[in-house]
Amino acid sequence: MPSVAVKLYSVFFKFLLKHRLQNRIQTPLDESNPFGVTSRPEESVAAPNPSFADGVATKDIHIDSFTSLSIRIFLPESALNPPEPKPIDSKPRPRSNSKNVEPEQTEKLSFRRNSYGSFNVGADTKREESRRSSYGSDMDALNLRSDVYRGYAPVDSNRRKLPVILQFHGGGWVSGSNDSVANDYFCRRISRLCDVIVVAVGYRLAPENRYPAAFDDGLKVLNWLGKQANLAECSKSMGSGRGGGGGGVSVESKKGDGNRHIVDAFGASMVEPWLAAHGDPSRCVLLGVSCGANIADYVARKAVEAGRLLDPVKVVAQVLMYPFFIGSVPTHSEIKLANSYFYDKAMCMLAWKLFLPEEEFSLDHPVANPLIEGRGPPLKFMPPTLTVVAEHDWMRDRAIAYSEELRKVNVDAPVLEYKDAVHEFATLDMLLKTPQAQACAEDIAIWQKSDEFPNKCDVFCLS
């Protein structure tokens, strides 16, 4: 069972949340304003730090002039390491058998109550023994500092490419933010352990902006990643065209001249330098927390439908952490654990009423129930999906059932269920530093690193 401290904090948390939800239901709002809000006044916010002070550099970007949509980029210090040489044998590394778990990992994995599906642990998932902890004499070469911007600025000689994780925070549609203290801590942890660039999405909150605002924002960020990759490629082509010698005009030069006007028209500042230098959009993973998992699953489905139209962005996997699923026909856990910790069923019903428009309110809405008939695209085209659930979460069974449906059509969809855990046990502010929260993040990193995430677009894309 959860500790006494967790139980007491849950009572206090539910009292405040119920009061806030009821106030928002009773307060008339102007829902015609598309700009919206992405953070509440009561939310503790962490300032961005672009200088690798704790191993991860962060920056905030507002990417839509018509709404409040913003992102926070988390760049791990490992991006400064020299690019790894490409192996001669380019065949994908086979997944290792789960029996080859290191003793240290076995101890950490004991926090997991059960696992379903084909969760395999790679044999080479030990942490790097050495990590760059100081810049030394080459600080100026790695960080171009000026009076205007005192953060990390990549240079041409430092181009290690990392996967990109799009992260969607939780909060029951009506609270939470991508730059909150809790979400900032969680994303830094994921960025370090998974060795990835995390892009935390600050989507619009309800009831100021109801469905489909948050889902549109998630898809908009995915398309923004594609535009960034294309702009970076144009900028690179333009730069390569400036070189060369001799009297003739090279092919690269012509290509650069042809693309120069595109970059100049948008302006060089439109190209996000961290993503251009270190982001690999062909290895994009979606990670959603609670209601953010609903957004991640929606974005994954839209990516499947778009297929190669999203090139060079390819969604190769998704991680659903205690998804905010519900349905009109209750599951066993929805009956037995209806009054569970932090987010009970009655509280979540209020959140759904605030999120879905009145004319569309249904517990079997496609964004609420993943098991309804006719919810496209066919599940066999979905990317590999890791689902994290908690033993004392009333939404647990529906998430497990969704994973089972994915496995029936041969989608890699393991489930990790953590014993004595509650909803948001790995992301809630007071629980972030518990052993279970740390073990969960490490399990996600093990799964993410268990494959090289090759280009699987031809496997699960419709086009």
What are the residue numbers of the active site? 290, 393, 423
Q: What letter represents residue 296's amino acid? A: A
Give dist(CA 205, CA 354) in Å, integer. 10
Phi, psi of 297 (to 5 degrees): -65, -35
Lookup: tokens for 200: 């935390």
**Cβ atoms of 116 and 415 closer than 8 Å:** yes
Give dist(CA 91, CA 384) in Å, integer. 19
Give dist(CA 395, CA 389) in Å, integer. 8
Lookup: tokens for 360: 């569309």
Give dist(CA 237, CA 251) in Å, integer. 11
> What are the CB-based long-range contacts (under 8 Å, 24+) for 238-241?
238/263
Give dist(CA 302, CA 322) in Å, integer. 21
**Cβ atoms of 178 and 72 closer than 8 Å:** yes
Per-residue b or e along 202-237, where b marks 16 or more CB atoms closer than 10 Å to that residue's CB: bbbbbbbbbbbbbbbbbbbbbebbbebbbbbebbbb
Phi, psi of 99 (to 5 degrees): -75, -15
SS3 417: strand
**Cβ atoms of 182 and 106 closer than 8 Å:** no
**Cβ atoms of 279 and 162 closer than 8 Å:** yes
Give dist(CA 62, CA 252) in Å, integer. 34
Give dist(CA 252, CA 283) in Å, integer. 27
- Longest CA–CA separation in the chain, Å: 80
